[in-house]
Amino acid sequence: MRRLHPAVVLLLCAFAAVAGCGERERADGPPASVLHRGNAFEPETLDPHRVRSVETFNIIRDLYEGLIAEQPGGELGPGVAETWTVSEDGLTWRFRLRDNARWSNGDAVTAEDFAWSLRRAVHPDTGSYYAQMLSVIEDISVPEPGVLVLHLSGPTPYLPGLLAQPIAYPVHRATVETHGERFTRPGLNVSNGAYRIVEWEAHSHVRVERNLYYWNDERTRIHAVVFHPIEAESTELARYRAGDLHMTRTIPVQQYEWLQRNLSDELHVTPYLSTYFYGFNLTKPPFQGNLPLRKALSLAIDREVLAEQVVGSGEVPAYAWVTPGIDNYETQRPEWADWPRDQRLAEARRLYAEAGYSARNPLRVELRYNTAESHRRIAVAIASMWREQLGVEATLHNEEWQVFLNSRQSQQLEVYRSGWVGDYNDANTFAEAMMSTHGLNDMGWKNEEYDQLVVAAGRERDPAARRELLEQAERLLLSEYPVMPIYYYVSKALVKPTVGGYVPNVMNVHPSRHLYLRD
């Protein structure tokens, strides 16, 4: 074993002795306390290794817990792992699990459970969209009961954040092997988080209830949580105002000023490590092999108008892929981002002509988005800008969330809206999402040099050199225009005054175990 780093208990391990403490006084809450949360979409799956949407992550975080867990303010601390140590070279991480960690059926949560689950997560048969995240792990071993050792291919300072993600959660091996894909269903599922699933009625709700075997159950104050998949933001707001919901997932942007005036104490708007963008399908015409066209469309839109007027709830115009505010990183920008609007438009028209299009031969393209008023407003505005400045004839098409995800995955569309949410506070979470091997690279963009830069950054021990490699990768990405960044998100939610423990944070994570209901 390599000599351990002098600071053997790293990255908030001091919390282990007081995990779950803080301002939350001991109180179990009334046995029938039920929290109702708006959650935008029907879950695509409740398999933590196959989930792909932020909304479903909200449910998964209640059902499961990883070695590392989010604390009330989004910071990281001990989860199933009580303590951990890191070798001096940063390549070997040793986690000691809690003796009292239990599955919802009472079985002990073991280091072998994590080893088996991590291997399952990256196995091709699992079909995980996030398997790329775990590629830094070269080997997994269980040298003694209750101890898991991860051997890495390179120093990975963001590993705690990675291990707090659903892709690194454990699943109950016996249940998976017995029931296959049905292991997620109520009555069959066995989970290790603060809650267990009891109901899942499609397009109605998912209900989870307190897992009495959870190691920190004495500090869980809400008995049950009901997640409501409500795609229409106006409908979610109406149900919130009617008292059906304690929390919303988002707000209708056209109601933002009204909400500021009338529900300011309940409205939470917070910076968010996330980028709203349009993706171009590079696997077929018109965008395959046509860089001038992709660049022309990107230059022709007015991001300031889109962010400040069409959305208008604190969003920031985006000219780059990586969100500003990431630790040890400077977001890169294309040269034209600082040009006057007239100069950008002149260049957009020149590129549009170079791409082979004109008033007599306009680009005809379909712009697709998932059903939501905010996405429709942006699509209408962008189509108008393209038509006015270039003569593009864009048709708009919206789809229900699951259908939309399938369309993206099968690459049957031309231009589509999307968003990328940072899974942890490091530029790698944005960089690796654009690698040719990543399961969520629906654009079909492939660039060997880009992949090599991101891989090299993962092996680099010097923070400054690692930063330069990642910044170089972003510059290369921006030069090829597989995506069209539009704005940087803010998280927007309404929370009833009766909900306690809600702490706005840049990761926008709010596990129900940290919340409580006031009388």
For 353-421, give the DSSP string.
HHTT--SSS--EEEEEEES-HHHHHHHHHHHHHHHHHH--EEEEEEE-HHHHHHHHHTT--SEEEEEEE
Q: How far apart are CA 475 and CA 477, in angstroms?
A: 5
Clarify whether residues 46 and 142 are in a common domain: yes
Average pLDDT over residues 513-518: 96
Domain-embedded: residue 240: no
Q: Is the pTM of this model over 0.75?
A: yes
Q: What is residue 5's predicted lDDT score, i.e. its pLDDT?
A: 36
pLDDT digits (tens, 9 = 90+) for 129-156: 999 999 999 999 999 999 999 999 999 9
Clarify whether residues 170 and 149 are in a common domain: yes
pLDDT over threshold 60, residue 3: no
Element (H, E) at 140: strand 137-144
In contact, 30 and 220? CB cutoff 8 Å: no
Q: What is residue 440's predicted lDDT score, i.e. its pLDDT?
A: 82
Q: Is the dihedral of CA 488, 494, 497, 498 positive or negative?
A: negative
Domain-embedded: residue 246: no
What's the domain count of the chain?
2
Domain-embedded: residue 54: yes
Rg (CA), the chain: 23
Percent of the chain with pLDDT over 70: 94
Clarify whether residues 305 and 223 are in a common domain: no
Q: What is the pLDDT confidence band of residue 31, given thresholds at 50, 70 and 90?
A: low
CA distances from 82 to 14, 69, 71, 239 (A): 10, 11, 14, 40
How many other C-beta atoms lie within 10 A of the C-beta of residue 514? 23
Clarify whether residues 149 and 225 are in a common domain: yes
For the purposes of burial, counting CB atoms within 10 Å of the CB of 122, is it exposed (0-12), middle (13-18) or buried (19 or more)?
Answer: middle
pLDDT over threshold 60, residue 119: yes
How far, rounded to the nearest angstrom, does the alpha carbon of residue 92 sit from its chain's CA centroid?
A: 27
Q: What is residue 28's predicted lDDT score, i.e. its pLDDT?
A: 47
Burial letters 445-473, b for 16+ CB under 10 A, else e = bebeebbebbbbbbebeeeeebbebbbbb
Q: How far apart are CA 296 and CA 345, in angstroms?
A: 8
How far, rounded to the nearest angstrom, does the alpha carbon of residue 467 sit from its chain's CA centroid?
A: 22
Clarify whether residues 352 and 294 are in a common domain: yes
pLDDT digits (tens, 9 = 90+) for 433-469: 999 988 889 999 999 999 999 999 988 989 999 999 9
In contact, 498 and 248? CB cutoff 8 Å: no
DSSP secondary structure of 310-356: II-SS-EE--SSSPTT-TT------GGGGS-HHHHHHHHHHHHHHTT
pLDDT over threshold 80, residue 23: no
In contact, 472 and 460? CB cutoff 8 Å: no
Clarify whether residues 447 and 504 are in a common domain: no
Q: What is residue 431's predicted lDDT score, i.e. its pLDDT?
A: 96
Comparing CA positions, the residue from 472, 422, 420, 435 lying closest to residue 136 is: 435
pLDDT over threshold 50, residue 488: yes
Structure tokens at 330: 């400077």
Q: What is the pLDDT confidence band of residue 486, given thresholds at 50, 70 and 90?
A: very high
Q: What is residue 32's predicted lDDT score, i.e. its pLDDT?
A: 64
Clarify whether residues 499 and 484 are in a common domain: no
Domain-embedded: residue 8: no
Q: How far apart are CA 72 and CA 61, in angstroms?
A: 13
Identify residue 508 by its one-letter amino acid code. N
Average pLDDT over residues 294-323: 96
Comparing CA positions, the residue from 44, 104, 358, 55 lying closest to residue 230 is: 55
Clarify whether residues 307 and 386 are in a common domain: yes
CATH number assigned to the domain comprising residue 84? 3.40.190.10
Range of the domain at 164: 31-234+495-517
CATH number assigned to the domain comprising residue 326? 3.10.105.10
Q: What is residue 24's predicted lDDT score, i.e. its pLDDT?
A: 32
* Residue labelled with tokens 């029907």: 42
Clarify whether residues 161 and 73 are in a common domain: yes
Domain-embedded: residue 5: no
pLDDT over threshold 70, residue 506: yes
DSSP assignment, residue 146? T
Q: What is residue 13's predicted lDDT score, i.e. its pLDDT?
A: 36
When the pLDDT of each residue in the chain is averaged and rounded to a whole number, the result is: 92
In contact, 270 and 488? CB cutoff 8 Å: no
Domain-embedded: residue 421: yes
Within 22-92, residue ranges assigned H as helices are 54-63
Domain-embedded: residue 80: yes
Domain-embedded: residue 21: no
Clarify whether residues 408 and 460 are in a common domain: yes
pLDDT over threshold 60, residue 9: no
Clarify whether residues 404 and 297 are in a common domain: yes
Q: What is the pLDDT confidence band of residue 122, given thresholds at 50, 70 and 90?
A: very high
Clarify whether residues 485 and 507 are in a common domain: no
